[in-house]
């Protein structure tokens, strides 16, 4: 009998026991970290008994989970697209008191988590969802989902720079970072706008790649993820993905994974 593939496991097609904290996250109740805190605080019951171990095995659909005495059922799935302004961190709370992307969301929305991250100074398209399996597939390296950025750099650019970005740049720590594609959008008097396409997303990928070449990043905007774009969405605004957009995104991930 063949072993299940990673895509089968992540898509939820395979029924199996998972940890209690992960179950609460998969049900769209809260993040796994928040679930662990609730469990350790004795606020979670599994089949009527208080459990304090976040790794307690659970079978979703068979076992009964309660938080503060209220049953937890699968939340309605929600998929959001946010045009993130600069100056906001991609986290639920910040120990340094900085503004977070959650302050831009309607407080009546169900719990959602960001799909990947944008650093504080980076702008643009950020997805948020309570469908943790879907979010993991979007962010997974094996989907090779194209992410398109517009990058303003402090200075001129030429073909040699574009070639270096596509060939790969070695950081001071020995890591090789590369762009799938790089092109010049427009040259200005003191700076240049580039379009950089990534099909992977490492931490501060573009900033570290350009900084390793001694190039200042003035502004960084994520314009698209796969078929999803910022078109018509004002900065700081958020909207729900249409059913068609969700379908297009799912098809794009499927086709990329098969390449």
Segment (H or E) for 137: helix 132-139
Q: What is the pLDDT of residues 98-129, one digit of tens each?
A: 899 999 999 888 889 999 889 999 999 999 99
Kindly write down the DSSP assignment for every residue of 1-31, as one continuous string.
-PPPPHHHHHHT-S---EEHHHHHHHTTSS-
Looking at residue 26, which CATH number applies to its domain?
A: 3.10.290.10
1 part of a folded domain: no
Q: Determine, yes or no, domain membership for 102.
A: yes
Q: 233 and 138: one domain? A: yes
Q: Are residues 83 and 189 in the same domain?
A: no
How does pLDDT run across 127-166, given as a tens digit for each residue?
Answer: 999 998 899 889 887 787 899 999 999 999 999 999 999 9
Cβ atoms 89, 100 nearer than 8 A: yes
Are residues 220 and 240 located together in one domain of the fold?
no
State pTM to two decimals. Answer: 0.80
- Residue 154, domain CATH: 3.30.2350.10
Check if the beta carbon of residue 18 is closer than 8 Å to that of residue 51: no
State which H helix or E strand residue 217 sits in: strand 217-225
Of 22, 45, 71, the position where a domain reaches its end is: 71
241-255 pLDDT, tens per residue?
999 999 999 998 887
Classify residue 2: in a domain, yes or no. Answer: no
Question: Residue 11: pLDDT band by 50, 70, 90 thresholds?
Answer: very low
The residue among 16, 118, 96, 117 whose CA lies nearest residue 63 is 16
Same domain, 151 and 250: no
Q: Is residue 162 part of a domain?
A: yes
Indicate whether 218 and 233 sit together in one domain: no
Kindly state the percentage of the chain with pLDDT values over 70.
93
- Same domain, yes or no: 138 and 151: no
Does 66 share its domain with 88? Answer: no
Domain match, 136 and 232 both:
yes
Q: Which two tokens stand for residue 77?
A: 């799935």
pLDDT digits (tens, 9 = 90+) for 39-68: 999 999 999 999 999 999 999 888 899 999
State how many domains the chain has: 3
Contact at 8 Å (CB) between 65 and 72? yes
CB within 8 A of 220, min separation 6: which ones?
A: 121, 122, 123, 124, 149, 150, 151, 152, 206, 207
- Same domain for 64 and 167? no
**Are 36 and 65 part of one and the same domain?**
yes
Catalytic residue (choose from 53, 68, 119, 121): 119
pLDDT higher than 70, residue 12: no
Token representation of residue 96? 């340094």
Domain interval for residue 166: 146-225
The Cα–Cα gap between 158 and 156 comes to 7
**Where are any strands of DSSP class E within 5-161?**
18-19, 44-46, 49-50, 57-58, 65-67, 70-71, 79-84, 113-114, 123-129, 147-153
Residues whose CB falls within 8 Å of the CB of residue 229, separated by 6 or more in sequence, listed in order: 125, 223
- One domain, residues 102 and 206: no
DSSP lists the bridge partners of residue 198 as 147
Residues 11-43 as b or e (16 or more Cβ within 10 Å = b): eeeeeeeebbbbbbbbbbbbbbebbbebbeeee
Q: Where residue 103 sits, what CATH number does that domain have?
A: 3.30.70.580
Tell me whether residue 146 is one of the annotated catalytic residues: no
* pLDDT, position 60: 83
């Amino acid at each position: 009998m063949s072993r299940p593939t990673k895509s089968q496991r992540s898509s939820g097609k395979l029924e199996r026991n998972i940890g209690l904290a992960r179950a609460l996250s998969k049900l769209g109740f809260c993040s796994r970290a928040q679930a662990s805190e609730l469990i350790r605080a004795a606020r979670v019951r599994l089949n009527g008994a208080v459990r304090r171990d976040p790794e307690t095995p659970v079978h979703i659909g068979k076992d009964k989970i309660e938080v503060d005495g209220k049953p937890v059922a699968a939340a309605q799935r929600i998929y959001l697209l946010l045009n993130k302004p600069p100056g906001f961190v991609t986290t639920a709370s910040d120990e340094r008191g900085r503004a977070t992307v959650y302050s831009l969301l309607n407080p009546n929305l169900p719990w959602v988590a960001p799909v990947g991250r944008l650093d504080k100074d980076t702008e643009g398209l950020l997805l948020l969802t309570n469908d943790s399996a879907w979010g993991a597939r979007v962010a997974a390296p094996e989907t090779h989902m194209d992410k398109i950025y517009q990058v303003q750099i402090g200075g001129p650019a030429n073909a040699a720079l574009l070639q270096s970005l596509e060939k790969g740049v070695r950081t001071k720590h020995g890591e090789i970072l590369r762009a799938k594609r790089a092109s010049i959008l427009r040259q200005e008097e003191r700076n240049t706008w580039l379009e950089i396409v990534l099909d992977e997303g490492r931490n501060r990928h573009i900033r570290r790649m350009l900084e390793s070449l001694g190039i200042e990043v003035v502004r960084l905007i994520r314009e698209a993820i796969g078929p999803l774009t910022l078109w018509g969405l004002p900065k700081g605004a958020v909207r729900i993905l249409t059913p068609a957009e969700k379908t297009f995104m799912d098809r794009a991930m499927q086709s990329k994974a098969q390449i």
